[in-house]
Structures are given as C-alpha cells and as structure tokens.
Amino acid sequence: MFKYRKRVFAVSAAVALAASLAACGGSSDSSDGDGTSGAPTSDEKGGTLNYLIFAPIEHLDPQRVYVGRDITNLSRTVYRTLVAFPISDDPEVANTPVPDLATDTGTNEDGGKTWSFTVKDGVKWEDGEPVTCEDFKYGASRAFATDVITGGPNYILSYLDIPTDDSGLPAYKGPYTGEGQELFDKAVTCDGNTITYHFNKPWPDFPLAIAGLHMMDPYREDKDNGDKSNFQIFSNGPYKLDGAWDKASGGTFVRNDNYDESTDSPDLRRALPDSIVFNIGQTTETIYDQMIQDSGDAQTSVTSQSVPPPYYNQIEGPVADRSVNIDSPYTYYLVPHFRTEAMSNPAVRQALAVSTNADAYVAAIGGDKAAGVAESIVNPAVVGYQENPAFAGSNAGDPEAAKQILEDAGVSMPVKITYTYPSSETNDKAAAALKDTWDQSGFEVTLDGLGDTYYDVIQKPTKESDVIWGGWGADWPSAITVTAPLFDSRPNLTKNSDGQDYGAYDSDEFNALVDEAQNASDLDAQTAALQQADVLLGEDVAYIPLTTTKFYMLYGSKVTNYTTTPASNGYPDLGAIGVES
Amino acid sequence: MFAYVIRRVFIGVILLIVMSLVTFVLFFASPVDPGRYACGKNCSPAQIEQTNKALGYDKPVIEQWTDFLKGVVVGREYPDDPALRAAAPQLVVECPAPCLGYSVVNSVTVNEELKERFPLSLSLALAALLMWVTGGVLFGVIAAVRKGTIVDRGIVALSLIFYAFPAFFIGLFLLKFVAIKWEIVPVPVYTPIAEGGLGLWLQGLFLPGLTLALLYMAGYVRMTRAFVLESMSEDYVRTARAKGLKSRKVLTKHSMRAALTPLVTMIGLDFAGLMGGAIITETVFNYNGLGKLAVDATVTYDLPTIIGLVLLLGTFVIVANIIVDVLYAVIDPRVRVG
C-alpha cells in the first residue's frame, strides 16, 4: 500500500487492525508479563523458520525500507548497521544502541553536530569483499537522489551540512547525476576506516536514528542499479537471499558463508534457523486458521499479523499458551482543526477532549486485547514518555463536564462538528462510539468516513472537518520523531498542504520548543524540551490521545525463544528465535 | 470471412485505445496525488514535485497517454527523465514494444509483471474450465434426459444452491475446512509444471479451480438442460427419431450439437474473463495471478499496471469474441458467418 511506515500503519490499522508495521519500542503486556513468551528456549541451530506476512513488502533496499517490521527483520538477518538495538525485554536496554558494524557507539563533537564511527575489521559482504568506510559513505549519498531512491526516510537531507538550492532541496542531487558531489564529500568524510558525518545542527540522538532506520547503511556502489535494485539484497549479515525475491510471494534466506560470527554479538543476532522463509500474501484469517490448527509448516511459523478480533475466542487452552499480547509502538489520536470556527475556540476543544470516550473507542475496535487507552500521543516505549496531564482522569467521556465548559464559555449548543476518519467496518463502529458521547455533551456530530483518499483529503487546507483521526509511531524511540513532525507548523503548513499537521496547529511557543529540542547537544536536554512541548500541546488541546494499539500474536509449537522486543518494534525478533529441528 | 475477421480486429484495436484513454483520465480525475504517494513520509512539496517529474506525472494527461501509446508501438526507456538516463546508464530499464509501462510500485516493467502472473491465471482458468464444462454439460444433459424425475430436480436444486453462493464463500469453505481443518487435501500452493511436474501443478489447482468451477457449473447445468430440451423438440430431431436412430445417437449427434452452439459463446467469454484473473479466488487462495495483481495495483494506485491489465483483459475478451464467432460455423452447420 503506502510506502512508509507511519502512513501505512495508519491506514492498515484503520482498515483491519491487523498491523503490519512497526516503529521503535513497545512495552509489554503479554501473557507472562513481558515480550517473551512461554516458548521453549534453546540454542540449537538448524531448521527452517517460516515468517507469515499478509501485505507485500514495498522495499528491501536499505535506503528505502521504512516499515518497522521490515527494518527489524532485515537488521537481524542481512543488513548490519553501525549501531543496533539489542534483543531485550527491558525497554531501557532495548532502546540503547550497541556497536554492530562500528567499533563503538560513536563519538560526537561540536555539540552533536559531528559524529564519527570506526568500521570494524573483518566484516564482509556476501561475496567476500570487505565492508568499507566508502560503502557507508555511498549508502548515505543515495537518499539525496530523491528522484530514484523514493519512499525511504529522508532525515539526512535536512541534517547533513549541505546547502540548499532555490527549490529548498539540498544542492547535492545524489550519486547518479553527481551534481553537487563536492558538497557531499565535505559533509561526509572517510579517514581510513573512520567515517565522519558533519551536520548543520546538533543531532544528539543520531545513534538512535541509525539504529532505528537503515538510511545510513553501507551500500556497494557496483551493486547499485537504482530502482532496479529495490528487491535486491546484498548481505553483510548472517543470512543471504537464496535466489530472487518475489514481491508477491516472498523469498528464502539461507546462511551467508562470508558472515563471521566473531564480528557480531549474540545480543543482536543469534542466527539459529538454517533458513528463514518469508511467505507473503495469505490473508490474516488464513494465517490464523493455520496457526491455531498448528499443523505442518504452521508449527515452525511466526507472523507479523495480529489475531483478528473475531478469532479471539479461539485463543484459549493450549493455543493461548502460544500467544503474546503486547503494546505496539503505535498511537491513535484525534486533532481538532484549528481553522474551523468551532475548534478555534479553546473552550470547545476543551469540551471535546473532556467528552471523548476513549474507553468506548477501545471496546469498538476489539477491546483490551486490541488496544489500551493512551494518555499521550507519545508512545510509552519512547524515551522520555510521560502521561500528558491534560488528559489525566477518566477516559469514559464526561458529558456533564463538557456541557458545563461550553455553557461557561457562552457557546450555544449544540455545536455542530464534522468528524473525519478513514472508513472501515471497525472504524465506523469506533466513530459511532465517539459520536454517541459527543452528542450527549453539547455537540451535534456528523460522521465523515473516507476511503483510500483519506490522507489526500485531510492534508488539504480547504478541508471542512472539525475533528480528524490520526495514527502515528516513532521512527526511533525519541519524541523528536513524534510531536515535531506532527505539530511543527513550519515544515507542514504550506499554501497547498497541511502536511502532517492535519489540524493546522500553529504555535510559536511550540515551534520554539522544537527548535530547542533540535538544537540540544545532549539527549537529556532534548527530552526535557520535548516533554515541555507535549505539555503545551495538551494545554492547547492540539490533540486528544485515543489508544495505544496492541499486537496479539501466535507462534507455532516448534518455535523456540519466541520473543517480541522493543528492538524488534513489537514483532517477532528474528535475532533470537529458533525452531526445533 | 477474412474481411470479417480483419474488420473485427480493427474495431478491437480502436476499442483498446479508447479503453486506455478512459483509464488514464479516470486515474487522474481521482484526488490522489501519485507523487505524494510514491515520495514517502515527511516529503516537502518540492520533493513531491520532483517525484512527480521523475515518474512523468508532471506532464499533461494527454501527453502521458500519447507517450504510453508510443511505448506500445516502439518501446520505451525508464526512468522517464532523459537527463537522468544519460547521466546514469545503470539505472536504465529497457521496455521493448509493446511496452505497457513501468510499475514504480513493483520496480519492474508491466510487461514482465503480466508475463510472470499470466501462467497462473491461465492454469487456473484451464482447470476451472475443464471442471465446469465437463460437469456443467454432463449434469445438464442428465437433467434434460431425466426431465421431471427426482434426478432432474436434484441436479437443478443443487446447481441453484451453488449459484447462490458467492465465490469467496465457496473458496473460504474449501480452504478453511477441506484443506486446513479437515486436512482432506493439502493447503493449495501453486507449483508451475516446470518446477513440480504435472502432479503438483494439478494438486495446486484443484481447490481454486473447483471454487470457480462450482460457481460457473451451476449456470452451465441449467443452460445445457434448457438448450438440450429445446433442441430435442426441434423438427430435425423428431425426424431423426422417426428414421429409427437410437436415442443416444439422436442426443449426441443432433440435439447436443445444436445445444452446444450458444454454450460455446459463453465458454469463450467466461474463459477470456477468467484469464484476466479470478480476483476473488486468487485473493482467497493467495494465488499471485492477474486477478490478485489487479487488486494490489488498485490499492497502491499503480497506474501503469492498472492500464496494462485493462488492456490485456480487453484483448482477451475481444479475441475470444472473434474466435467464438468463427467457431460458430464449425460447430453448427446452420450458421454461416460473413
């Protein structure tokens, strides 16, 4: 569907609640209290693990992959990074990068504007050639070819110290045309095996960013054929692709003979199965028919799909022993549209927040196995998470309190508002649940469920919606990838588009806090500024949190060490999982 | 006859050109911005503009359409931007005529996509065709011959039941119960003959083929029954009986021959439609044929693939129509074309 993880998440979640993506983090609430399961533990190597996925993977190119599930699967198998998140149930440990292809977690100078890493010796590509600093430099350059390398994360375009041209884009146009190459060569330098990145502003969480995304991965120039390389995998990890990848049906990873275990860490990759088969395309229902039956290949299978709510009652007894139910890294939320007459009034926004029945919303989308009520737009797994005080207290909606707020503000009732959301059977029910309490609270709500054009419509400045639904997950476990991209009006609000600031929230005070966070030279200062920014968003009712979605997944009876960690974005962690031979 | 065929082919080509234009216009009439869609998250307006340019979506619709038609006739090269092709030859994708475009969603030419998916759809259509024609004609004839008996009523009632069930229901039932729960047959996996031999190929096609066959068979049973009954009351059949021919010979030599003529039209059109992809069946069984490709292309706004599929399916139907018209004359001597 869409090419990037947050958007894909939002749509897929909206349509089916069968999340197929992830971002960083994800606290645990499984059957045994954390992301680990009751699966047998074993260090035995061998066997074939099956990974069942519904929707095709959009990109396998490291600079283009932007779906949390795919990022983590590729990290554990074929694409090693400078630093990576370790396998751990403890979010603090799992959110702290450790060295992978680099000798350490990097050193920074100039208040976080310059970062250096030294590439380990002895790390090889699947053809036996060494992974070099130049490979890292080339990999970083590819994102600048925005006409070829599309769909991937583009943070580096705004961070790397390269001037912009008249269009506002970097003057360097990527390695294919070579235009502006000298600018890039100054911004990224190699000295022996040490690579140095020069940024135009501090990037204190740079290690988190490159552990969370593949945008700075090494790439061999002689293997680069642009878009033709989208489904090509040239590995430096413990596995390699056997034959070609078929986008519609998947592919098989087998052991990479040129992988040297001694250059890696068991905290990142245990590489237990001899092969991993990615089986793409079966519907979530068919996947779960087989997983529940637990026969044949299903016994050695894991899946990225969540149990569909109609199947919940089948997850009992021995089947329930093979299940985990954990918080996902994603949050659903509402934004009031500040341009409309109704929502430009702070009292109306306040009344809307007070009357939002998040409990009913959770019940409508599948109950507590599908989601939990959120207390902030920032996911609990993100570094520096705190409950937003503006949304403390009952989550059931309080019609009387809402009416009182409207009455005190002299607002005549009912306040007519339109709620816009992506329509689906589940979302229609959830919208009706919200409307029910809002209608009792002095509002008269018109539901506006949209189809596939949802994001095109809500990004238009001319939209007439008063309240808009959204879904989001952090790109790496920092709120800088949540509140800043969603509410900083400067990059979002243009003549033709509201970008991701769907509610057209425009606050100089908030933008100043984003600047403070972006210019902070250390993580603590950045986190403090972002926490303050979230409090301000709550006070302004720039958003109303709805739910933290949950993953509810089964695994086969012959799967060992089954775990879903914050490092694996809540999905089965292929770094740890094995199968009984 | 030859002039007739040429005329039909010419009209078919015109029809295909119109279909491609309509598809283009419909796609661009939608509020979706394909550049924004392809660019990714956090893309600035300038980046979206650049993506649109790289994909050729910045050009007027008519220019894009004429570029497309030109590609069909003489082939094309991608990326669309000639400066980029010149600067980086390693990026160039050759798309020889008849080039149906390049799918940026799947990073491959549409021709390759269709070539890859077509064998499955064709296999599935053939398997289904074999089952439904055999079953449909056989049970239809039995019902006609045993008109008014319990056998006739039973066959008609059963066919009505299958006709009433949608394909997704039959498909899901066969997959969930017959394959997964009861394990009567293995969960179907399509294996090309070249990879697994005839046995695995047939095994993989059994349940999906049966899904389609049950659906189509129901209609064919009823029609065969009606056509055979109708032909059995014709004068020439009565004459044949009067001449003392055996009932079986009257049925096979005279009644069925006439009854089959209208069925051939239907078989041709149904088969052509199925070759273009059995959308629901392929989706239920996760069979990556043209039908599933159509679903994926629609969901991802993959314009080149959508147009390619529309034209391919249109071609199947047009060609099937021509073949059916020609076959009329062969099957039924009363018919003369041209």
| Beta-sheet pairing, A415-422 with A239-246 | unpaired
pLDDT in tens, A414-448: 999 999 999 998 999 999 999 999 999 999 999 99
pLDDT in tens, A154-195: 899 989 999 999 877 899 999 999 999 999 999 999 999 999
pLDDT band per the 50, 70, 90 thresholds, residue B28: confident
Query: How high is the mean pLDDT of chain A?
Result: 90
Chain B residues with CB under 8 Å of A149 CB are none
- The yes-or-no verdict on residue B337 having pLDDT over 70 is no
Q: Which residue of B has its CA nearest to A488?
A: B42
Chain B residues with CB under 8 Å of A221 CB are none
- pLDDT of res. A35: 56
Q: Which long-range contacts (CB under 8 A, 24 or more apart) does A515-519 make?
A: A517/A479, A517/A480, A517/A484, A518/A201, A518/A202, A518/A480, A518/A484, A519/A201, A519/A202
Question: Which of A430, A454, A383, A358 lies closest to A205, judged by CA?
Answer: A383
Tokens of B55: 């994909």
Secondary structure element (H or E) that encloses residue A578, with its range: strand A578-579
Cβ neighbours for A570, distance < 8 A, ≥ 6 positions apart:
A22, A25, A26, A35, A68, A326, A327, A328, A329, A551, A564
**Mutation choice for B interface testing from A156, A227, A480 by most B CBs within 10 A:** A227
Q: Which fold has domain B113-336?
A: MetI-like fold (1.10.3720)
Contact A2/B at CB under 8 A: yes
Does a cis peptide bond (omega within 30 degrees of 0) precede residue A204? no
Higher pLDDT, A459 or B112: B112
Integer Cα distance of B170 and B155 in angstroms: 18
pLDDT in tens, A56-80: 898 999 999 998 899 999 999 999 9
- The yes-or-no verdict on residue B160 having pLDDT over 70 is yes
Question: Which of A227, A242, A443 lies closest to A334, judged by CA?
Answer: A443
**Mutation choice for A interface testing from B187, B195, B290 by most A CBs within 10 A:** B187
- The yes-or-no verdict on residue B10 having pLDDT over 90 is no
Q: Do B300 and A1 touch (CB under 8 A)?
A: yes
- The yes-or-no verdict on residue A13 having pLDDT over 60 is no
- The yes-or-no verdict on residue B315 having pLDDT over 60 is yes
List phi, psi (to 5°) of A481: -100, 15
**What does pTM read for this prediction?**
0.87
Higher pLDDT, B166 or B71: B71
pLDDT band per the 50, 70, 90 thresholds, residue A130: very high
* B257-276 average pLDDT score: 81
Of A133-142, B218-227, B265-274, the one with minimum mean pLDDT is B265-274
pLDDT band per the 50, 70, 90 thresholds, residue B51: confident
Integer Cα distance of A205 and A53 in angstroms: 31
- pLDDT of res. A150: 85
- The yes-or-no verdict on residue A20 having pLDDT over 70 is no
Contact A152/B at CB under 8 A: yes
The Cβ of residue A194 has, within 10 Å, a number of other Cβ atoms equal to 15
Q: Which of A76-80, A563-567, B287-291, B322-326 has the highest mean pLDDT?
A: A76-80
* A193-217 average pLDDT score: 95
pLDDT band per the 50, 70, 90 thresholds, residue A3: very low
* A25-45 average pLDDT score: 60
List phi, psi (to 5°) of A130: -75, 150
Cβ neighbours for A346, distance < 8 A, ≥ 6 positions apart:
A540, A541
- Residue A73 CA neighbour count, 13 Å, CB half: 31
- pLDDT of res. A538: 97
Contact B183/A at CB under 8 A: yes
Chain A residues with CB under 8 Å of B292 CB are 248, 281
Integer Cα distance of A573 and A322 in angstroms: 15
- pLDDT of res. B41: 67
End-to-end CA distance of chain B: 5
Q: Which of A184-193, A469-478, B257-266, B314-323 has the highest mean pLDDT?
A: A184-193
CA distances from A544 to A467, A468, B299 (A): 10, 10, 30
Of A7-21, A128-142, B264-278, the one with minimum mean pLDDT is A7-21
- pLDDT of res. A89: 83
- pLDDT of res. A496: 77
- pLDDT of res. B266: 84
pLDDT in tens, A462-487: 999 999 999 998 999 888 999 999 99
List phi, psi (to 5°) of A255: -65, 145
CA distance A436 to chain B (A): 31
A 496-515 residues with CB below 8 A of B? 496-497, 500
**Mutation choice for A interface testing from B108, B286, B306 by most A CBs within 10 A:** B286
pLDDT band per the 50, 70, 90 thresholds, residue A139: very high
Does a cis peptide bond (omega within 30 degrees of 0) precede residue B79? yes
pLDDT in tens, A377-401: 999 888 889 999 999 988 999 999 9
End-to-end CA distance of chain A: 36
Higher pLDDT, A436 or A455: A436
Q: How are strands ordered across the β-sheet holding A467-473?
A: A371-373, A544-554, A323-336, A467-473, A415-422, A443-450
Integer Cα distance of B308 and B331 in angstroms: 34
Identify each DSSP E strand in A256-344 by its residue range: 275-280, 301-303, 323-336
* B230-256 average pLDDT score: 85
Integer Cα distance of A531 and A7 in angstroms: 24
Q: Do A225 and B37 touch (CB under 8 A)?
A: no
The Cβ of residue B233 has, within 10 Å, a number of other Cβ atoms equal to 9
CA distance B87 to chain A (A): 5
- pLDDT of res. B92: 95
pLDDT band per the 50, 70, 90 thresholds, residue A28: very low
Integer Cα distance of A325 and A548 in angstroms: 13
pLDDT in tens, B71-127: 999 999 988 888 889 999 999 999 999 999 999 889 999 999 999 999 999 999 999
Of A99-108, A351-360, A475-484, B313-322, the one with minimum mean pLDDT is B313-322
- The yes-or-no verdict on residue A350 having pLDDT over 80 is yes
Question: Which of A394, A340, A346, A392 lies closest to A541, judged by CA?
Answer: A346
pLDDT band per the 50, 70, 90 thresholds, residue B215: confident
Contact A155/B at CB under 8 A: yes
Look-up of token digits 């569909």: A308
List the domain boundaries for chain B.
Answer: 32-99, 113-336
Query: What is the rounded (10 degree) CA torsion for B249, B254, B257, B262?
Result: -140
- The yes-or-no verdict on residue A309 having pLDDT over 60 is yes
Helices B303-331 and B110-145, axial angle in degrees (round to 10): 40
Question: Which of A139, A166, A551, A511 lies closest to A323, judged by CA?
Answer: A551
A457: helix, strand or coil: helix
Q: Do A147 and B54 touch (CB under 8 A)?
A: yes
CA distance B194 to chain A (A): 17
- The yes-or-no verdict on residue B257 having pLDDT over 50 is yes
List phi, psi (to 5°) of A519: -95, 0
